[in-house]
Amino acid sequence: MTDSPPPQEMPADRTTTVASPAADTPGESAAAVPPAKRPRRWPTLVLGALLGATLVPAGAWMAGTRQASRETPVVTALQSQLVAANAERDTLRRDLATLRSELTQTNERVAAAARAGEQAAADTARLIADLRAQVIGLAARLDAVPRTAAVDPAVVNKLDTAGHEFGHMLGVGDEYGTKGDKTSHWNLVKKAFGQQYADDVALKDVPGGGSIMRGGQEVRIYHYVTFWQALCESTLKAALPDPKFGYDDWKFNE
C-alpha cells in the first residue's frame, strides 16, 4: 500500500476549473464547473499594515536604546571632565583675584612709602631753610650792634659769640656755670658715647675749657649730638628701610 501524494494548493488569485467525474453512462459528456470566487485580501493588508506600524517603531526604539547604552559611558565621562574643568576654572579665577588684591596692596604700600620718604625729605629741607634764615637774621642783628669808642681797641674778644649762640640754636647748652652740673646735652652725649665720656666733656666747668660752649673756639664732635638725635628719629619714623635704622645703627666717626 502506497501513500498518495499530498494535494497541491492552488494560488488564491487564480480561477480553477474542477472536472466532473466520468459519467456513469458511456457517451455522456462531462459538465463544466463554474470558477471559484477570488478570496478577499483586505484583512491581510490591514494586518500587515498594523504589524508594520508596530514593529518598525519598536525596532527603531530598540536600536536607539542599544546606541544610547553604548554612548552613556562616553557621555558620563565627558560630563565628569566638564565638571572638573569648571572647578579648575573657578579655582584659577579665585587665585587670580587673590593675586590682583595682593598686587594692589603692594602698590599701595610702595606708594605710601614713597609719599612718606618725600614728606621726610621736605621736612628736612624746611628745617634746614628755617635754620639758615635764623642764622642770617642773627648775623644781621649782630652786625647792627653799634660799635662805640668806649670799647678799648686793644681788647680781643676770644669768645666766638655767633658760633656759641648758633650752638644754642642747635640744642647744645652752656658748658659754664656751677662746676660739676650736667649740661642740657649731657644725656645725649652719654647715649652716643657712654657715661664716662659724658662726664669728661659735658659737665659744667670741667678742665679743658676750649669748647665753644664754654668760652673757647672749638666745635667738638659731641656738639653734633643733636644732629645725631634728629637723624635717628627721622629714620625710625620713616617707612623705609625695613628694618629701620635707629640709635644703635648711626655711629660717630672720630
Q: Do residues 194 and 188 lie in contact, with contact meaning Cβ atoms separated by under 8 Å? A: no
Q: Could you tell me the residue ranges of all domains in the chain?
A: 66-144, 159-254
Q: In this predicted model, what pLDDT tens digit does every residue of 19-37 receive, in sequence order?
A: 444 444 444 444 454 555 5
182: phi then psi, degrees, rounded to nearest 5: -80, 140
Identify which of 152, 143, 163 has the alpha carbon closest to the alpha carbon of residue 214: 163
Mean pLDDT check: name the lowest of 26-40, 202-216, 240-254. 26-40
pTM: 0.40
Question: How much of the chain exceeds pLDDT 90, in percent?
Answer: 25
Q: Do residues 185 and 202 lie in contact, with contact meaning Cβ atoms separated by under 8 Å? A: yes
Count CB-CB contacts under 10 A for residue 138. Answer: 15
Amino acid residing at 219: V
Q: In this predicted model, what pLDDT tens digit does every residue of 47-100 receive, in sequence order?
A: 666 666 665 666 666 666 666 566 677 778 888 888 888 888 999 999 999 999
Identify which of 189, 229, 230, 226 has the alpha carbon closest to the alpha carbon of residue 206: 189
